[in-house]
């Protein structure tokens, strides 16, 4: 990143073509299609295993699949079907290869969900695919509607955040005991204007390099914002007022933060993946566009984890599953290594 930025600055100074700002990055970025699902699959979330494989959560059935990003085509394996549920909307890893998946009853066709249907399951991926994933229920959420975003507060204590996008609140769950409660409900997690739709969508902890305060960053789909609230790193509870970090991010779904606090986000209805600069707030379109159907319904992003994947951004789209023109859900890899500090 440093080298290319410096290069751009020198170029800009010498011939005046490029400028000394984030727009000097080469966009659209290079994108590889890792896997294109058929039109009977809608995707929602993804996670990356330590060994580099992606785990994708289906939106139109409670299935999770593994996709090997190094084997284009023919690289998809079924991991598990959660019987008795209609959708798998959230995933987080607590210890190595120990994932927690949120499932519930939501119809992707009419977007009607069932209050009290969500549960969270532990999915032990150790040894997969040689050994089957071992799956057990951790907690049932009788007061919840659609559990979506998940983030680890502490591996040691087993505390995680679990967002409810339909209620517009964030819960805290202890994955070891199953105990959970509603922890955060503020003007930026809620659905506003108050009708149907999604409120809080993605949630990620971040500690700025120059500060001792830890923040919970959250995207709000309906409000089109990313906000943050300072938290107590042990309990996960807020210790101050929430503030907006960036607004006018139409239908922002999942996002990822790099070490500097630059935000990489999926803008669902704009079919775009964007980068928001942590200093200037400049929004740079990395790939896609309103009328470009390659990335129809951009929904989730996460950084790669292996050495060879450093600065690569994995991304999924749902393909416009319920639209007349369904292009099929996709898993992509965006080359963001020049602009992400990971």
Ligand X SMILES: *[C@@H]1O[C@H](CO)[C@@H](O)[C@H](O)[C@H]1NC(C)=O
- Using the rule CB under 6 A, is 72 a contact of ligand X? yes
- Using the rule CB under 6 A, is 71 a contact of ligand X? no
Using DSSP's 3-state secondary structure scheme, residue 62 falls into coil
In contact, 12 and 18? CB cutoff 8 Å: yes
Helices of type H across 24-124: none
Span of 37-45, 214-222, 236-244, 317-325 interacting with ligand X by CB under 6 A: 37-45
Per CB under 6 A, the list member of 42, 60, 66, 117 interacting with ligand X is: 117
- Which residues ranging from 216 to 235 are in contact with ligand X (CB under 6 A)? none
Q: How far is CA 250 from the centre of its chain?
A: 16
- Using the rule CB under 6 A, is 21 a contact of ligand X? yes
Span of 205-213, 227-235, 251-259, 293-301 interacting with ligand X by CB under 6 A: 205-213
Token representation of residue 222: 């309906």
Return d(Cα 43, Cα 54) in angstroms, integer: 12
- Which residues ranging from 157 to 196 are in contact with ligand X (CB under 6 A)? 167, 169, 185
Return d(Cα 309, Cα 313) in angstroms, integer: 8
Which CB, 137 or 279, lies closer to ligand X?
279
- Which residues ranging from 79 to 98 are in contact with ligand X (CB under 6 A)? 84-86, 98
Q: Provide the edge-to-edge strand list for the sheet that holds 214-220.
A: 200-206, 214-220, 225-231, 243-246
Per CB under 6 A, the list member of 51, 126, 177, 207 interacting with ligand X is: 126
Using DSSP's 3-state secondary structure scheme, residue 89 falls into strand
- Using the rule CB under 6 A, is 61 a contact of ligand X? no
In contact, 165 and 198? CB cutoff 8 Å: yes
Backbone angles phi, psi at 146, to 5 degrees: -135, 105
Span of 45-53, 123-131, 197-205, 307-315 interacting with ligand X by CB under 6 A: 123-131
Per CB under 6 A, the list member of 81, 124, 235, 322 interacting with ligand X is: 124
In contact, 321 and 60? CB cutoff 8 Å: yes
Which CB, 210 or 307, lies closer to ligand X?
210
- The site string for ligand X over 288-317 (x = CB under 6 A, - otherwise) reads ------------------------------
């Amino acid at each position: 990143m440093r080298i290319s930025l410096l290069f751009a600055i020198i170029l800009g100074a010498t011939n005046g073509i490029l400028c000394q700002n984030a727009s000097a990055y080469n966009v659209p970025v290079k994108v590889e299609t890792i896997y294109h699902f058929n039109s009977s699959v809608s995707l929602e979330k993804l996670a990356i295993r330590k060994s580099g494989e992606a785990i994708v959560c289906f939106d139109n059935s409670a299935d999770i699949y593994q996709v090997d990003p190094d084997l284009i085509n023919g690289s998809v394996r079924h991991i598990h079907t959660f019987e008795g549920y209609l959708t798998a909307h959230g995933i987080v890893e607590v210890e190595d290869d120990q994932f927690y998946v949120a499932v519930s009853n939501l119809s992707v066709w009419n977007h009607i969900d069932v209050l009290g249907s969500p549960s969270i399951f532990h999915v032990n991926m150790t040894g997969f695919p040689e050994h089957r994933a071992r799956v057990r229920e951790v907690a049932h959420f009788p007061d919840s509607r659609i559990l979506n975003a998940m983030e680890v507060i502490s591996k040691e204590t087993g505390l995680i955040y679990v967002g409810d996008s339909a209620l517009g609140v964030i819960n805290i769950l202890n994955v070891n005991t199953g105990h959970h409660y509603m922890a955060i409900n503020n003007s930026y997690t809620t659905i506003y204007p108050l009708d149907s739709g999604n409120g809080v969508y993605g949630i990620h902890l971040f500690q700025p390099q120059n500060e001792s305060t830890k923040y919970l960053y959250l995207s709000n789909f309906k409000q089109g914002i990313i906000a943050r609230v300072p938290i107590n790193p042990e309990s996960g509870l807020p210790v101050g007022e929430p503030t907006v970090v960036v607004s006018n991010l139409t239908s922002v779904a999942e996002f990822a933060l790099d070490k500097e606090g630059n935000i990489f986000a999926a803008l669902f209805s704009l079919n775009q993946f964007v980068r928001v600069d942590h200093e200037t707030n400049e929004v740079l379109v990395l790939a896609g566009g309103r009328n470009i159907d390659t990335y129809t319904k951009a929904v989730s992003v996460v950084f790669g984890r292996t050495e060879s994947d450093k600065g690569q951004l994995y991304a999924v789209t749902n393909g416009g599953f319920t639209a007349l023109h369904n292009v099929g859900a996709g898993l992509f890899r965006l080359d963001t290594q020049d602009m992400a500090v990971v």
